[in-house]
Amino acid sequence: MASFMLRYIAQRSFSRTAFQYASSTPFVQRQIIQEDDISQTKKETNTSIVAEDPLQHDDYFNVRSMVTLDDLFKNRAHYGHVTGMRNPWMSQYIYGHRLDVDIIDLDKTLPMLHRALNFLAHISYRQGVILFLTRYPAHVPLVERAARDCGEYAHCRQWDYPFTNTQALFGYDIRLPDACIFTHTLAPPNQLHPAVSDSNKLLIPTVALCDTDSNPNIITYPIPSNDDTPKLIEFYLTLFQQAIMAGKEKRREKDLAN
């Protein structure tokens, strides 16, 4: 009798456990499915946030397609100055020399140019003010036209220290640029452009073409390159314009979508 009761209790316990497991299995499955749906929704949300945030992209404005190594070579960006004029800090960007003329390593120039263009596009996207500067006489008409065509500003005359002397010049404070572009870091008579020093004092980022006689350490985004040939300067100004306009176009698209 005792053995019969034990078998009966064991069978009842087993059937009850099996029933509980069977009845709980759909709930567990539904819970797992719901958790999978939630995690998938979170992934899609995070993906959409990344897609909308330019800072999460390596090349949100597609600036790498604007210029290639072949473009730089055809426009003679690799020509430097004579070896005797070399700035020691530019040695890391020099490939070699030929007939006592330094040759710039364009394999290093290209990624640095891409970073500079990407930076300008981001500044433009955030509706920042960009100032083009030069004191090189042959560059003045090119720089002023480029700034006007992309809706930005240019200063190509004698530097009267408008960054640090605004009260004396204008009688009130002015908005300083969010970025400065130099097509030539030197000003007559072959000395550093004062705006480079003023930009560094006020923590204004700078983008500049740095020839072999320049100091790249005082520029935020240096571009090792020939900075004398007007044809090459016009080529670079076109790239700067394209990057700035790409940022403005993305901003316009975002505003319309919102």
Of the chain, the percentage scoring pLDDT greater than 70 comes to: 80
57 pLDDT band, cuts 50/70/90, is confident
Among 71-85, 104-118, 238-252, the least confident range: 71-85
Q: Which comes out higher in pLDDT, residue 5 or 29?
A: 29
Arithmetic mean of pLDDT over the chain: 84
Q: What's residue 179's pLDDT?
A: 97
Q: What is the dihedral of CA 191, 163, 155, 174, to 10 degrees?
A: 180
Q: 138-171: per-residue pLDDT in tens?
A: 899 999 999 999 999 999 998 989 998 888 888 8
Packing angle of the helix pair 140-149, 230-257 (nearest 10 deg) = 10
Q: Which comes out higher in pLDDT, residue 173 or 210?
A: 210
Residues 6 or more apart whose Cβ sits within 8 Å of residue 92: 108
One-letter identity of residue 121: A
Give the per-residue SS3 of the chain.
CHHHHHHHHHHHHHHHHHHHHHHHHHHHHHHHHHHHHHHHHHHHHHHHHHHHCHHHCCCCCCHHHCCCHHHHHHCCCCEEEEHHHCCHHHHHHEEEEECCEEEECHHHHHHHHHHHHHHHHHHHHCCCCEEEECCCHHHHHHHHHHHHHCCCEEECCCCCCCCCCHHHHHCCCCCCCCEEEECCCEECCCEECHHHHHHHHCCCCEEEEECCCCCHHHCCEEEECCCCCHHHHHHHHHHHHHHHHHHHHHHHHHHHHC
Residues 219, 50: Cα–Cα separation, whole Å: 30
Question: Region 18-32: what's the mean pLDDT?
Answer: 51
Domain 106-158+174-257, architecture per CATH: 3-Layer(aba) Sandwich (3.40)
Q: What's residue 47's pLDDT?
A: 46
Q: What's residue 205's pLDDT?
A: 97
The model's pTM is: 0.79
